[in-house]
A = this chain, B = another copy of it.
Amino acid sequence: MQTLDRASPVPLWAQLAADLRERIGRGEFGERLPTEAQLLQEYDVSRHTVREAVRGLKDAGLLRAQRGRGTTIATSSELEQSLHGLYSLSRSVQTAGLRDHSDVLVHERRPAGEVAGVLEVPDDAEVLFIERIRYAGDEPLAQDRSWLPWDLGRRLRLADLEHGSLYDALLQRAGVVVTGGNERIRPAVPDAPTRARLALPRGRAVFDIERVAVGGGRPVELRRSQVRGDRYSFVARW
């Protein structure tokens, strides 16, 4: 049974959360998560550890617990993102059961220019610049522009970017684990080219999201996204 490694530096609760997330994704539990008592017996950890893991999944919007009733697996057919937890387009799209792929419009080496400061590279360094349109099913959902330091970006293949997550590719190609970051979300009126690429009617707004991802103690990606507001929203339950 032991998917949990007590010698690992990764906290037990995080390992447990990852395992539960995978099992939930496979539909192993149906609508209802096993009770805390069952989980602490199955994984042989304390109740606190189970609760810590489940808390993370609740915050991410995957679970919903009710005292006396049990913990149910949240089902959502809409494209929405819990206000708790990290924004992830791929996850939202996949949770909604839609196909997640990207058109790569630009994929080129460039001078770092104005992003040198944010990426903490020298002013005369080079970066990989990527521009993608991300789809949920057959309709465009977002425009992503990413800048990565060239020593990382050079490892990425174009195919990596058309399916799946850029961070998965970074891990597999460059051995870099994205461990943190920060992002800021604002509403915006898209400019004409963005509006065209997103097939968005006039007068509609988008989320404007700027993210700096950090791994191995340094910035590994600056990303600026415009996400269609008519297809995506943030949701909080409290």
Give me the interface of A with B, judged by CB distance under 8 Å.
Answer: 59, 80, 83-87, 180-189, 203-208, 229-230, 233-238
Contact = CB atoms under 8 A, between A and B. Distances in A.
A85 B237 CA distance: 10
14 contacts: A83-B85, A83-B87, A83-B234, A84-B85, A86-B238, A180-B237, A182-B235, A182-B237, A182-B238, A185-B234, A185-B235, A186-B233, A189-B189, A189-B203
Contacts of A85: 83-84
A187 B229 contact: yes
Contacts of A182: 235-238
Counting chain B CB atoms within 10 Å of each CB, the highest count among A84, A230, A234 belongs to A234
A64 B55 CA distance: 20
B236 A86 contact: yes
Contacts of A59: 84
Nearest to A82: B83
A179 to B, nearest CB: 9
A205 B188 CA distance: 5
Contact of A189 (B183, B205, B233): B205
B180 A204 contact: no
Among all A-B residue pairs, the 7 with the closest Cβ atoms:
A187-B187, A187-B205, A187-B229, A185-B234, A182-B237, A205-B205, A186-B233
Contacts of A184: 80, 233-235
Given A236-B86, A237-B180, A188 B185 contact: no
Contacts of A234: 83, 184-186, 234
Contacts of A186: 205, 229-230, 233-234
A238 B181 contact: yes
A185 B86 contact: no
Nearest to A210: B233
Given A183-B236, A186-B229, 17 more contacts: A59-B84, A80-B184, A84-B84, A180-B237, A181-B238, A182-B238, A184-B235, A185-B234, A186-B205, A187-B187, A188-B205, A188-B229, A189-B189, A189-B203, A205-B205, A205-B206, A234-B234
